[in-house]
Amino acid sequence: MLIIEPQAPARASASADAPPVDHFIDGAFVGSAKRFDKHSPVDGRLIARVAEASREQVDAAVRAARAALHGPWGGLSVAQRVELLYAVADGINRRFDDFLAAEVADTGKPASLARHVDIPRGAANFKVFADVVKNVPTEFFEMATPDGAGALNYALRRPVGVIGVVCPWNLPLLLMTWKVGPALACGNTVVVKPSEETPQTAALLGEVMNSAGVPRGVYNVVHGFGPGSAGEFLTTHPGVNAITFTGETRTGAAIMKAAADGARPVSLEMGGKNAAVVFADCDFDAAVEGTLRSCFANCGQVCLGTERVYVQRPLFDRFVQALKRGAEAMRLGRPQDPATGMGPLISHEHRDKVLSYYRKAVELGATVVTGGGVPDMPPELAAGSWVQPTLWTGLGDDSPIAREEIFGPCALVMPFDTEEEVLRRVNDNDYGLATAIWTADLKRAHHVAGAIEVGIAWVNSWFLRDLRTPFGGAKQSGIGREGGVHSLEFYTELKNVCIKL
């Protein structure tokens, strides 16, 4: 099949008229002499001129966060902090449409998706962790001593300090608040570095923090890139006590090296090459619907998304045909159109990467079941970063298409015969984030879920998230777990107090 080359993007040139997006430092919005352009992934329009933080501005943000630890924020009781975080969640909900518009403008994702997932979860992340902190006890041990008087031990949770929060672009508000919610609930202060692709909702949250009455310096945002820019300035800053990161595995490794200076803890949520495992006894329609969603939701830009589909042989041809029909029924279009099922990729740069895999699959001899190129879009959308939802067969587990994270709307579908075989093949991968198992056999479901080397295993579902449960990746997909009480492990120092009676 022919790979259609993307047209050279006809982008608006930089204009001083595009609205600015500024840093939020010490409770105030501040710009920078240096700015970069943010283009719409939908039509290539210039939508914002984003301030790029200098080292001095990152330093100012870290100092503001440090000062806030020792200011009114540090003196609040848990109940008072919880009340403020509830006010932040309410503030997001009150300005729901503003957050929705900002998120959709930055990412190009369908508004229907952001309305149901990104923005409500952004608000929920503050409430859930406020509740966790309010309700989770610490431990207590009574011990005997040789003199018979005894001693008491009890544990106290204390904030770690200033947390550096480095975020990706695929679910910007959701993933940022997934870190900021628990960090603040535990009494820390934060400096957030949103992705350069999606600066707007993090900035908007600054306004909500101010109107909710969160003291200045508690929540700070610095914009910019990774190496040689705000990401590096933040993660190498000695005033940052811990770093929490979501993004690519390679970036996570660089951040881990930066964090080694000063022996600072890291929590890393990184890439995946997630498998769906479809057994012949599954509920066929549910497995097709769930697999389509897991391959194509958010244009395939979900860390938990499926890029390898293993289908038991008796079902293979029928399943591939059903996936093909589903992919071809996917409507690509403007985010605001309720009929739109899939938006564009985040940027032309990312599209170049995804298309390089589309080409590689063909060079390696894959059968292109559907897609494989750039769709024909109406002229007003032609400068967007569109790609076709794509399915391949005919390649094995050793091909880069089966091994490397592509992060696009695409999957390689492969047949398997036995449970033992599929387990071996799924686990033979450097990543270990998530899996979706489709079967009607409960015994098999338990066995396979237990044996697959991942942080999150779904049975007969995908992306069903209870925020109290542990979230994170095995192998090169992550270090640490967040969610519910697990977030407390990272965002607090647990201190034992021993009292001799």
Catalytic residues: 269, 303
Stretch that binds ligand NAD, among 105-113, 129-137, 164-172, 393-401 (CB under 6 A): 164-172
User: Of these, 75, 137, 146, 227, which contacts ligand NAD (CB under 6 A)?
Assistant: 227
Q: In 3-state terms, what secondary structure has residue 332? A: strand
60, 128, 175, 454: which one binds ligand NAD (CB under 6 A)? 175
CB of 165 to ligand NAD, least distance (A): 10
3-state secondary structure of 103: helix
* Of positions 473, 480, 483, 484, contacts ligand NAD by CB under 6 A: 473
Q: 3: buried, middle or exposed (CB in 10 Å: 19+, 13-18, 0-12)?
A: middle
Q: With binding defined as CB under 6 A, does residue 196 bind ligand NAD?
A: yes
Q: Which of residues 229-248 bind ligand NAD (CB under 6 A)?
A: 231-232, 235, 246-248
Piece of 68-76, 108-116, 445-453, 472-480 that binds ligand NAD (CB under 6 A): 472-480
Q: Per rule CB under 6 A, is residue 169 in the interface with ligand NAD? A: yes
User: Residue from 64, 82, 162, 166 that binds ligand NAD (CB under 6 A)?
Assistant: 166
Is residue 251 involved in binding ligand NAD (CB under 6 A)? yes
> How far is Cα 481 from Cα 474, in angstroms, rounded to an integer?
10
Task: Single out the segment in contact with ligand NAD by CB under 6 A; choices: 23-31, 193-201, 204-212, 438-446.
Answer: 193-201
Q: From the CB of 94, what's the least distance to ligand NAD, in Å?
A: 27
Burial class (CB in 10 A: 0-12, 13-18, 19+), 139: exposed
Closest distance between ligand NAD and the C-beta of residue 496, in Å?
A: 31
User: How long a stretch of residues is the chain?
Assistant: 501
The contacts of residue 356 (CB under 8 Å, 6+ apart) are none
**Helices first, then strands: H and E counts in the chain:** 16, 23
Q: DSSP secondary-structure letter at 37?
A: E
Binder of ligand NAD out of 23, 35, 66, 193 (CB under 6 A) = 193
Task: List C-alpha distances in Å: 309 to 5, 76, 142, 347.
Answer: 27, 50, 53, 26
CB of residue 325 to ligand NAD, shortest distance in Å? 27
Single out the residue of 271, 333, 371, 432 in contact with ligand NAD (rule: CB under 6 A): 271
Q: Does 408 bind ligand NAD (CB under 6 A)?
A: no
When asked if residue 255 is in the footprint of ligand NAD (CB under 6 A), the reply is yes
Q: Among 86, 96, 225, 284, which residue interacts with ligand NAD (rule: CB under 6 A)?
A: 225
Q: Tell me which long-range contacts 34-41 makes (C-beta under 8 A, separation of at least 24).
A: 36/196, 36/225, 38/106, 38/196, 38/197, 38/199, 39/11, 39/12, 39/347, 40/105, 40/108, 40/384, 41/107, 41/108, 41/343, 41/344, 41/345, 41/346, 41/347, 41/384, 41/385
Residues in 274-313 that interact with ligand NAD by CB under 6 A = 303
Q: Helix (H, G, I), strand (E, B), or coil: what is residue 188?
A: coil
CB 445 within 8 A of CB 486: no
DSSP string, 108-168: ---HHHIIIIIHHHHHHHHHHHHHHHHH----EEEE--TTS--EEEEEEEEE--EEEEE--
Region binding ligand NAD by CB under 6 A among candidate stretches 50-58, 108-116, 167-175, 354-362 = 167-175
Applying CB under 6 A, the site for ligand NAD has a residue count of 32
Q: Closer CB to ligand NAD, residue 163 or residue 270?
A: 270
* The pair of three-digit structure tokens given for residue 395, joined into one six-digit string: 């390649």
202 interacts with ligand NAD by CB under 6 A: no
Amino acid found at 55: R
Is residue 181 at the binding interface for ligand NAD, with CB under 6 A as the rule? no
Least Cβ distance, residue 283 to ligand NAD (angstroms): 28
What is the binding site for ligand NAD (CB under 6 A)? Answer: 166-170, 175, 193, 195-196, 225-227, 231-232, 235, 246-248, 251, 254-255, 269-272, 303, 405, 407, 433, 473, 477-478
